[in-house]
C-alpha cells in the first residue's frame, strides 16, 4: 500500500476523498473542472517564479513523478552526489525503515489484529518541491538536506504544516539525520519554518489513522460541505449518496460540528430531526439554532417557503423600492487580485425598461478605469437603491475606493445605498433549498441562467483564457453570466417583496 503526501493532504481535508481515491470506481468521478486545472497551472508558474526569484542552482531527476520509484532512486543519487538543490524529487521508504526509526506501536494500536500483516506492504512516498543542501552530518557526508514546499496559498495552513512534517520525517530516515527545519514558501514568496517538535508527532498519528482507515476498509460517512466539496472530483458521486439517504448535511445550518452534537443526542436522520422536540434540540444546539433547523426541515419536507419565526413581519420596514433601481454584481480574479467586471442592471419601473451596463476591464490594468466609470454611472441615479447578494460587493467598493483614492464622501454615499438581499433572505425567510446561494434560491423560484454550467469559478477561467487568447466569445460568456446574476438578483428581490407582503396581509387578516 502506497501512502503519499497527496493522500495525506486529502485525508486532512476530507478522509472520505482519500478512501475513494484508493478504492472508489474512477468512472464515478466528475470531469476535472476548468478552475482546478487553472489552479494547477498557476502552481507550476508559482514554482518557476520562486526558482527564478531565488536564482536557485538546482538539478532534478530525469524521470517524472509518474514513475515515482525511478524518480526516488535518482533523487537519492543526487543527494549522494551532494548537489546544492534538488527540485521535483521523490523521497521513498519502506515500512521496515519507518519501523526501525520510529517503531510501530501507533500503527498496531489503530488497526485490527487481522490486518497487522499489511504493515509490511506499506511504502511511504513524498514529493517536496525542493531539497536544499546545507552544512551538517548525514549518511551522505558533511552535508544534509532540508525540504521546502512551494504552495500557492497565502497562509501556512495546518494541512501544509502536516505535509511539511511528513517530508521532514521521510527525509530524516533516508539521510539518517532529521532536518532542523522544514520550510513552506507561500504565494507572496514569504517563508515559514514549521515547528517540527509539534508537527512530527501530529503527523505520525495522522499517518497511522489514515492507514487504519484504509487497512480496515472503513468508508467514511458522506458529509456535503458546499465550499470544501465544490472542486472535488468526487462531489457528484458523494452528493448522490447523500441524496439517496437524505443526509442531514444537505440541510442548511447543519455544520460538521453541529452534526456531531446531533449524533450525540441520537439525531442522525431527517426522521429523527423531525421527531425530536424543539426544546430538547435547543438544549444541545441553542434555541435559536434549534428553531431555525426545525423550520428548515419543515420547509424542505413541505417544499414551501416559510417566514422565519424570528422575523417581525408586521413591524419591519419592507425591502426598499424605488422608481429606478440598480442591481449590482462583480466578477473577480483572485490570483491577480483584480475585479474585472462591475455589472449593473438598471430597472426603471416607471417605464418598465431594463438595461444592463457592463464595466469590463479587458486587461487587469483597466481596473481603475472601470471603477471610475462605475462611480460616474451610479452618480447619475443618486436616489436609486443598489441591490446585491452577499457582502462581497460592499467589501469590493471599500477596497477599490482605498486603492484608487476615491474621496471618502463619495465612497460613503455609494455604500449607504447598498441593499444586501442575502441579509434580507437569511433574516426573513426559510426556503426548501440545500444552500442559500443566489443560484440555489433563484432556481427554486423559477429563474435559470443561460449558461447552465456557468459559475463564478468558470467566469474566472473564461477571463484567464481571454487574457491569453483575446477570443471575444469568452467575454460574451462572462457578460452573459454576470447579466444573469444581476437579473437573478432582481428576480429574487421582487419575489421576496411579494412573498413577505402577502404573508403580512395574511397575518393581519387572521388577527
User: In terms of residue numbers, what domain contains 177?
Assistant: 2-215
- Please tell me the distance from the alpha carbon of residue 143 to that of residue 408, in angstroms, as a whole number: 58
- Confidence at residue 122, expressed as pLDDT on a 0 to 100 scale: 86
Same-domain status, 295 and 211 = no
Q: Which residue shows C-alpha cell 464515478?
A: 28
- Please tell me the distance from the alpha carbon of residue 345 to that of residue 488, in angstroms, as a whole number: 10
The helix-helix angle for 5-13 and 196-215 (nearest 10°) equals 90
Same-domain status, 7 and 74 = yes
Helix and strand numbers (H, E) in the chain are 21, 15
CATH number at residue 260: 1.10.150.20
Mean pLDDT of the chain: 93
Confidence band of 188 (pLDDT split at 50, 70, 90): confident
318 inside domain? no
Confidence band of 313 (pLDDT split at 50, 70, 90): very high
Which tens digit of pLDDT belongs to each residue from 74-115? 999 999 999 999 999 999 999 889 888 888 777 777 776 666
The pLDDT of 472-497, averaged and rounded, is 97
Residue 93's CB: how many other CB atoms inside 10 A?
A: 21
Same-domain status, 18 and 113 = yes
pTM: 0.88
Nearest to 457 by CA among 327, 330, 329, 333: 333
- Are residues 125 and 100 in contact, defined by beta-carbon separation less than 8 angstroms? no
Which three-class secondary structure string do you get for 269-332?
Answer: CHHHHHHCCHHHHHHHHCHHHHHHHHHHHHHHHHCCCEECCCCCCCCCCCCCCCCEEEEEEEEE
- Confidence at residue 187, expressed as pLDDT on a 0 to 100 scale: 84
The pLDDT of 418-432, averaged and rounded, is 97
224 inside domain? no
- Confidence at residue 207, expressed as pLDDT on a 0 to 100 scale: 92
Same-domain status, 374 and 489 = yes
CATH number at residue 403: 3.30.420.10
Pairwise pLDDT comparison (112 vs 18), residue with the higher score: 18
- Confidence at residue 228, expressed as pLDDT on a 0 to 100 scale: 82
458 inside domain? yes
| Structural domains counted in the chain | 3
Radius of gyration over every alpha carbon of the chain, rounded to an integer in angstroms? 27
Q: What's the sign of the alpha-carbon dihedral 297, 303, 309, 310?
A: positive
Pure H helices in 326-471: 367-379, 392-403, 408-416, 421-428, 438-445, 456-469
Given a cut of 90, is residue 504 above it in pLDDT?
Answer: yes
- Confidence at residue 437, expressed as pLDDT on a 0 to 100 scale: 95
| Of the candidate ranges 100-104, 167-171, 291-295, 394-398, the one whose mean pLDDT is the lowest | 100-104
Confidence band of 483 (pLDDT split at 50, 70, 90): very high
Residue 285's CB: how many other CB atoms inside 10 A?
A: 21
pLDDT above 90 covers what percent of the chain? 81
Q: Which residues pair with 148 in a beta bridge?
A: 130, 183
- Please tell me the distance from the alpha carbon of residue 189 to that of residue 47, in angstroms, as a whole number: 10
Same-domain status, 262 and 376 = no
229 inside domain? no
- Confidence at residue 323, expressed as pLDDT on a 0 to 100 scale: 96
- Confidence at residue 115, expressed as pLDDT on a 0 to 100 scale: 67
Same-domain status, 266 and 329 = no
The pLDDT of 8-30, averaged and rounded, is 94
- Are residues 374 and 342 in contact, defined by beta-carbon separation less than 8 angstroms? yes
The single-letter DSSP state of residue 59 is B
Given a cut of 80, is residue 119 above it in pLDDT?
Answer: no
Confidence band of 431 (pLDDT split at 50, 70, 90): very high
- Confidence at residue 114, expressed as pLDDT on a 0 to 100 scale: 65
Same-domain status, 284 and 381 = no
Same-domain status, 145 and 265 = no
- Confidence at residue 328, expressed as pLDDT on a 0 to 100 scale: 98
- Are residues 73 and 59 in contact, defined by beta-carbon separation less than 8 angstroms? no
Highest mean pLDDT among 32-36, 179-183, 488-492: 488-492
Q: For residue 259, which phi and psi values (nearest 5 degrees)?
A: -65, -40
- Are residues 461 and 34 in contact, defined by beta-carbon separation less than 8 angstroms? yes
Looking at 224-365, which runs of residues are DSSP E strands? 306-307, 324-333, 338-348, 353-360
223 inside domain? no
Same-domain status, 165 and 298 = no
Q: Which residues pair with 431 in a beta bridge?
A: none
- Please tell me the distance from the alpha carbon of residue 239 to that of residue 223, in angstroms, as a whole number: 9
Helix (H, G, I), strand (E, B) or coil at 123: strand
Same-domain status, 505 and 370 = yes
Same-domain status, 124 and 179 = yes
Given phi > 0 = left and psi -120 to 50 = alpha, else beta, which region is 151? beta
Given a cut of 90, is residue 394 above it in pLDDT?
Answer: yes
Amino acid at each position: 500500500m502506497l501512502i503519499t503526501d497527496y493522500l495525506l493532504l486529502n485525508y486532512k481535508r476530507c478522509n472520505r476523498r482519500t478512501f475513494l481515491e484508493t478504492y472508489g470506481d474512477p468512472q464515478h468521478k466528475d470531469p476535472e473542472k476548468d478552475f482546478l486545472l487553472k489552479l494547477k497551472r498557476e502552481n507550476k508558474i508559482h514554482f518557476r517564479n520562486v526558482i527564478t526569484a531565488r536564482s536557485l542552482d538546482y538539478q532534478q531527476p530525469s524521470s517524472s513523478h509518474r514513475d515515482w520509484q525511478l524518480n526516488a532512486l535518482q533523487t537519492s543519487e543526487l543527494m549522494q552526489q551532494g548537489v546544492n538543490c534538488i527540485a521535483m524529487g521523490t523521497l521513498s521508504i519502506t515500512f521496515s525503515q519507518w519501523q526501525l526509526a520510529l517503531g510501530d506501536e501507533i500503527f498496531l494500536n489503530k488497526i485490527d489484529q487481522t490486518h497487522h500483516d499489511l504493515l509490511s506492504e506499506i511504502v511511504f512516498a513524498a514529493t517536496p518541491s525542493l531539497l536544499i543542501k546545507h552544512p551538517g552530518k548525514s549518511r551522505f557526508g558533511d552535508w544534509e538536506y532540508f525540504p521546502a514546499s512551494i504552495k500557492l496559498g497565502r497562509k501556512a495552513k495546518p494541512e501544509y504544516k502536516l505535509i511539511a512534517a511528513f517530508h521532514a520525517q521521510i527525509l530524516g530516515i533516508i539521510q539518517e539525520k532529521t532536518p532542523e527545519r522544514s520550510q513552506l514558501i507561500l504565494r507572496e514568496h514569504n517563508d515559514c519554518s514549521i515547528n517540527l517538535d509539534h508537527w512530527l508527532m501530529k503527523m505520525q498519528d495522522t499517518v497511522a489513522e489514515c492507514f487504519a482507515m484504509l487497512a480496515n476498509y472503513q468508508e467514511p460517512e458522506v458529509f456535503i460541505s458546499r465550499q470544501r466539496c465544490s472542486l472535488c472530483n468526487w462531489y457528484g458521486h458523494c452528493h448522490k449518496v447523500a441524496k439517496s439517504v437524505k443526509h442531514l448535511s444537505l440541510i442548511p445550518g447543519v455544520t460538521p460540528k453541529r452534526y456531531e452534537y446531533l449524533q450525540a443526542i441520537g439525531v442522525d436522520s431527517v426522521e429523527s430531526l423531525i421527531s425530536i422536540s424543539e426544546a430538547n434540540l435547543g438544549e444541545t444546539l441553542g434555541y435559536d439554532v434549534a428553531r431555525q433547523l426545525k423550520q428548515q426541515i419543515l420547509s424542505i419536507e413541505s417544499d414551501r417557503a416559510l417566514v422565519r419565526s424570528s422575523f417581525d413581519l408586521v413591524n419591519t420596514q419592507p425591502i426598499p423600492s424605488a422608481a429606478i433601481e440598480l442591481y449590482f454584481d462583480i466578477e473577480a480574479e483572485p490570483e491577480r487580485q483584480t475585479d474585472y467586471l462591475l455589472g449593473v442592471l438598471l430597472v426603471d419601473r416607471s417605464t418598465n425598461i431594463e438595461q444592463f451596463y457592463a464595466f469590463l476591464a479587458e486587461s487587469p490594468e483597466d481596473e481603475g478605469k472601470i471603477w471610475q466609470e462605475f462611480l460616474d454611472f451610479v452618480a447619475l441615479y443618486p436616489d436609486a437603491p443598489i441591490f446585491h447578494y452577499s457582502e462581497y460587493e460592499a467589501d469590493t467598493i471599500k477596497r477599490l475606493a482605498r486603492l484608487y483614492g476615491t474621496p471618502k464622501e463619495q465612497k460613503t454615499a455609494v455604500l449607504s445605498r447598498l441593499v444586501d438581499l442575502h441579509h434580507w433572505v437569511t433574516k426573513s425567510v426559510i426556503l426548501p433549498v440545500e444552500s442559500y446561494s443566489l443560484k440555489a434560491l433563484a432556481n427554486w423560484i423559477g429563474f435559470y441562467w443561460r449558461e447552465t454550467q456557468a459559475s463564478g469559478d468558470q467566469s474566472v477561467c473564461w477571463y484567464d483564457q481571454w487574457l491569453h487568447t483575446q477570443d471575444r466569445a469568452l467575454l460574451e460568456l462572462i457578460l452573459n453570466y454576470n447579466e444573469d446574476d444581476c437579473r437573478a438578483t432582481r428576480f429574487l428581490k421582487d419575489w421576496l417583496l411579494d412573498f413577505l407582503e402577502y404573508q403580512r396581509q395574511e397575518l393581519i387578516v387572521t388577527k
